Amino acid sequence: MNITAQQARLLVEAAESKAAEIGAPVNIAVLDAGGHLKAFSRMDGAVLGAIDIALGKAKTAALFEITSESIWDFCKPGGPAEGLQSTNGGLVTFGGGIPLKTRDGQMSGAIGISGGTVSQDFEIAKKALDAFVS
Amino acid sequence: MNITAQQARLLVEAAESKAAEIGAPVNIAVLDAGGHLKAFSRMDGAVLGAIDIALGKAKTAALFEITSESIWDFCKPGGPAEGLQSTNGGLVTFGGGIPLKTRDGQMSGAIGISGGTVSQDFEIAKKALDAFVS
Amino acid sequence: MNITAQQARLLVEAAESKAAEIGAPVNIAVLDAGGHLKAFSRMDGAVLGAIDIALGKAKTAALFEITSESIWDFCKPGGPAEGLQSTNGGLVTFGGGIPLKTRDGQMSGAIGISGGTVSQDFEIAKKALDAFVS
Amino acid sequence: MNITAQQARLLVEAAESKAAEIGAPVNIAVLDAGGHLKAFSRMDGAVLGAIDIALGKAKTAALFEITSESIWDFCKPGGPAEGLQSTNGGLVTFGGGIPLKTRDGQMSGAIGISGGTVSQDFEIAKKALDAFVS
């Protein structure tokens, strides 16, 4: 089942709360299972270039149903699918994009975070995910 | 001065509240003065095609510093600038996009609403604007 | 012969001077005979949406070696080339784009002005042209 | 606060002066804090391919608020964000793009230089920056 507006709001709030706690202003993008924009928030201080990256991480996670960094295993030099990252209008293959699934494993959407370091972005996305599944 | 995350949140909430009141689920796009995405929310029930329209209305209002429907006077058949709507990657020239200005008239951003009838979209955008300036 | 940097500078200055005189802040785009950007200036107060239009007017004049509004005769409803305006990545078919030619009629480049009314833009482009040919 | 036309003109003139001094004709792109074109100049003799690079360097610096070459640390092979250079419609990750900030650290715009060697481009951008902050 597709993510609801209420769930998207909770995800954004959880991400913003974690981001504020660690002092990393970020962009938060929430897409539905079809990869369409559901909610977005750019915190004050997040660089403009991270808007597109947050959207790209979420798109990557939504389209492939795995985390954005997992795609890297396929398209890295010597990987089985070099160039994969250029498909679908461009994928983002580092951490911060996570698919959202229901308890029974159905795709519900994806979240993408960008604005901090890659590990901060990943940490924030992970924390938001906790708000989603609990 | 560019719109803040707090102001964007109030705009989204005011728009969602008005939209719920009149029974018209919509997409709400808030951009900064440079036309960059600041906040977005798609209410449950809003059609997918209205995502791009909400973003386009807000972009049009941000880039030209007037309401989206005002652009139509320029580019309508027989108007002084036919084809204007094809510039800037495509403009949206009907109601629902409104520029956000500070009390002293400086551009701060823009809001775009789409999902209801054009008059509903306009009404919701107008109501949200009240939340911004008050 | 292609326009020189010195000529481009004089064009921009003449346009800015006329624009200031009539109180219409504009964008000024100068392209060479190949349609490549040579000089650009956005005056304070010109709307962001007019950047793309100034560039588009100049491109249209450079590619077809006539004024931007002359293209409209071809592509207007009922004209001999409806849809022409969608070619070349999009043309701008209202006033403000003028080709730059040497005394012996060779293409040298084009200028595009946008930010005022269409007649103001045209007037400014025309004035700049005087600086070029004299 | 966004860069003014007067500041942009001084930046272009300082860059052109330095470029002439070292004999490296370049393209100079100046963007505002939102990444929108404010001023541009192509010196006689600069290759056409460097137009897009100057614009790209400035865009990269504007969107990420750091020098263009700093982005390379993130997206180089083995870096934490491989593929980052493909976001935002393509970034330029070598020297010559520098963000412009006010004395109190607020983003004001960015400059991008291309046409010489990378070290020449960087040197010219740096020299122009001196004109901006002094």
Q: Which chains touch C (3 or more CB pairs under 8 A)?
A: B, D
Question: Which residue on chain D is closest to B88 by alpha carbon?
Answer: D36
D36/C43 touch (CB, cutoff 8 Å), yes or no: no
- For the segment C6-54, what is each residue's pLDDT rounded down to a tens digit? 999 999 999 999 999 999 999 999 999 999 999 999 999 999 999 999 9
Specify burial of residue C80 (Cβ count, 10 A radius: 0-12, 13-18, 19+).
Answer: exposed
Q: Which tokens is D95 given? A: 């020297």
C133 pLDDT more than 90: no
- For the segment A115-128, what is each residue's pLDDT rounded down to a tens digit? 999 999 999 999 99
Residue B32, chain D, CB below 8 Å: the answer is yes
The answer to whether C99 and C70 have CB atoms below 8 angstroms apart is: no
Length of chain D: 134
Q: What is the pLDDT of residue C1?
A: 82
Residue D77, chain C, CB below 8 Å: the answer is no
Q: Residue C30 is inside which H or E element, if any? A: strand C27-32
- For the segment C48-86, what is each residue's pLDDT rounded down to a tens digit? 999 999 999 999 999 999 999 999 999 998 999 999 999
- For the segment C78-129, what is each residue's pLDDT rounded down to a tens digit? 999 999 999 999 999 999 999 999 989 999 999 999 999 999 999 999 999 9
D134 pLDDT more than 70: no
Confidence of residue D131 (pLDDT cuts 50, 70, 90): confident
CA angle B6, B8, B13 (to 5 degrees): 95
Residues of chain C with C-beta less than 8 angstroms from the C-beta of B90: none
* Alpha-carbon gap: B2 to the closest alpha carbon of chain C (Å): 15
Determine D/A contact with 3+ CB pairs under 8 A as the test: yes
B64 pLDDT more than 70: yes
Q: Does the reported pTM lie above 0.80?
A: yes
Q: What is the pLDDT of residue A94?
A: 97
Least CB–CB distance from A38: residue in B4, B34, B42: B42
C40/D43 touch (CB, cutoff 8 Å), yes or no: no
Residues of chain A with C-beta less than 8 angstroms from the C-beta of D110: none
- HEC per residue, chain A: CCCCHHHHHHHHHHHHHHHHHHCCCCEEEEEECCCCEEEEEECCCCCCHHHHHHHHHHHHHHHHCCCHHHHHHHHCCCCCCCCHHHCCCCCCCCCCEEEEECCCCCEEEEEEEECCCHHHHHHHHHHHHHHHHC
* Alpha-carbon gap: D87 to the closest alpha carbon of chain A (Å): 6
Name the DSSP letter for residue B28. E
* Alpha-carbon gap: B54 to the closest alpha carbon of chain A (Å): 11
Question: Which residue on chain B is closest to A28 by alpha carbon?
Answer: B39
Residues 36-55 of B with CB under 8 A from D: 36
Rg (CA), chain C: 14
Question: Which residue on chain D is closest to C52 by alpha carbon?
Answer: D37
A134 pLDDT more than 60: no
In angstroms, rounded to a whole number, what is the distance separating the alpha carbons of residues C99 and C68? 9
Residues of chain B with C-beta less than 8 angstroms from the C-beta of A13: none
Residue B82, chain C, CB below 8 Å: the answer is yes
In angstroms, rounded to a whole number, what is the distance separating the alpha carbons of residues C91 and D108? 31
Mean of the pLDDT values across residues D41-50? 98
Confidence of residue A67 (pLDDT cuts 50, 70, 90): very high
D83/A92 touch (CB, cutoff 8 Å), yes or no: yes
Q: Which chains touch A (3 or more CB pairs under 8 A)?
A: B, D
B133 pLDDT more than 90: no
Q: Which is it for strands A27-32 and A107-114: parallel, antiparallel or unpaired? A: antiparallel
Residue B90, chain C, CB below 8 Å: the answer is no
Determine B/D contact with 3+ CB pairs under 8 A as the test: yes
Name the DSSP letter for residue B86. G
In angstroms, rounded to a whole number, what is the distance separating the alpha carbons of residues C58 and B87? 13
The answer to whether B113 and B98 have CB atoms below 8 angstroms apart is: no
Name the DSSP letter for residue C84. G
Question: Which residue on chain D is closest to C36 by alpha carbon?
Answer: D48
Q: What is the pLDDT of residue B131?
A: 82
Q: Which chains touch B (3 or more CB pairs under 8 A)?
A: A, C, D
Mean of the pLDDT values across residues D23-35? 98
Specify burial of residue D85 (Cβ count, 10 A radius: 0-12, 13-18, 19+).
Answer: middle
Non-local CB neighbours of C23 within 8 Å, separated by 6+ positions: none
A42/B37 touch (CB, cutoff 8 Å), yes or no: yes
Q: What is the pLDDT of residue A1?
A: 82
